[in-house]
Structures are given as structure tokens and as C-alpha cells.
């Protein structure tokens, strides 16, 4: 019977060996807490940066989509008008192909571009920081591809619209997009 190991003695020895080394010293504990705090700080920083980047991407895609739809609608509608009746820095007043007014109005104070047709006003853009209408005649400048600016509204054959829109994220201006239409030619206008 003496050939079998005495488990009580082995367990007691292990217990004593571990019990004499159980626990952390103050230095080991401070290093562990420091590493855990550093890891938590890095993890929180990465999470916040990733979340903000994701929100900015979603915001930018929405802004781009909104600008593209507005530009497509403006281009399609302006191509079909009969002529430009009046204009100023913030208004374009067309006579549409049904001989009714079609008005585009940019309001800098609210940063909006609206379209008014048959008394119904539609919001086309919001968050516009700036907008510029440039009007041209059909005839180009001699020996160039540049067009001649208009002197009278009824001579307008080509319109260029340029705007800059932005969106805020957490009350900071996060995304800005410049959208410029290709020069839009009024197709129904007789030269």
C-alpha cells in the first residue's frame, strides 16, 4: 500500500506553493489597471471614430442623392420651357410649355431652393449655402467654346446653375458638396 502516492500531501504542497504566491503585488496591480485603462480608451476611441465616420458617410450619401435628384428635376423641367421671362440673383421666372409661369426661387436666409408651378410650391433643395444662376445666349464667343452672357431675359438660351450644400452632424458642419449642372439648354426656345 505504500506504493500509492499520498494525494493529501501533494495537494497540500501545491496549495501551500500557490497560497504563498497568490494575489498581486501593488506594482503588478497598477500595471494591470493601466493596461486595462489604455485598452478601454483605445477601444472607446475607435468606436467613436468609426461611428462618426459611418454617420458622415450616410449623411454624405443622402446629401449627394438629394442634390442629384434636384439637379435632374431642374434640368428636365428647364429644357422643356418656352422661354425665360424674368430673372434676378435669386429668381428664375420661366414661361412653361403650357404658357404658365414656372418659378425657381433661392432663399439665402433659409438655404432653400423651391419650384412654383400652378400655385404649388415644391422644395427642391435645403441646406444650400450658396447658389448662382448664370445665363447665356446661344451664340458662342468668337474662337472659343464660351457662351455670350445675356443682356435681356428673353434672349436666354442656356442656363448654368451652381450651388453648394452642406449638412451638419452633431451641430458641426460635416459634409459639403458642390454640385454644378451642365449648362442646360432651353430646347423649345427659338433662336
Give the span between the Cα atoms of 130 and 96, in whole angstroms: 26
- Residue spans per domain, the chain: 31-185
End-to-end CA distance of the chain: 120
Q: What is the pLDDT of residue 2?
A: 57
* 88 or 9, which is more confident: 88
Query: What does pTM read for this prediction?
Result: 0.69
Cα 91 off chain centre by: 25
Nearest to 181 by CA among 79, 112, 61: 79
Q: Is the pLDDT of residue 13 over 70?
A: no
Nearest to 113 by CA among 129, 101, 99: 129
* 9 or 46, which is more confident: 46
Amino acid at each position: 500500500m505504500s506504493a500509492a502516492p499520498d494525494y493529501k500531501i501533494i495537494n497540500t504542497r501545491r496549495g501551500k506553493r500557490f497560497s504563498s504566491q497568490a494575489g498581486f503585488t501593488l506594482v503588478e496591480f497598477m500595471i494591470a489597471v493601466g493596461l486595462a485603462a489604455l485598452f478601454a480608451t483605445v477601444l472607446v476611441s475607435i468606436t467613436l471614430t468609426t461611428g462618426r465616420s459611418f454617420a458622415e458617410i450616410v449623411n454624405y450619401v443622402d446629401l449627394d442623392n438629394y442634390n442629384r435628384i434636384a439637379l435632374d428635376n431642374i434640368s428636365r423641367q428647364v429644357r422643356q420651357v418656352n422661354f425665360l421671362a424674368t430673372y434676378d440673383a435669386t429668381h428664375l421666372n420661366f414661361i412653361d410649355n403650357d404658357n404658365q409661369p414656372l418659378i425657381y426661387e433661392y432663399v439665402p436666409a433659409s438655404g432653400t431652393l423651391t419650384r412654383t408651378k400652378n400655385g404649388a410650391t415644391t422644395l427642391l433643395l435645403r441646406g444650400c449655402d450658396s447658389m448662382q444662376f448664370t445665363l447665356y445666349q446661344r451664340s458662342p464667343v468668337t474662337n472659343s467654346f464660351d457662351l455670350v452672357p445675356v443682356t435681356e431675359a428673353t434672349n436666354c438660351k442656356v442656363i448654368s446653375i451652381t450651388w453648394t450644400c452642406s449638412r451638419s452632424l452633431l451641430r458641426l458642419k460635416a459634409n459639403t458638396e458642390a454640385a454644378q449642372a451642365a449648362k442646360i439648354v432651353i430646347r423649345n426656345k427659338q433662336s
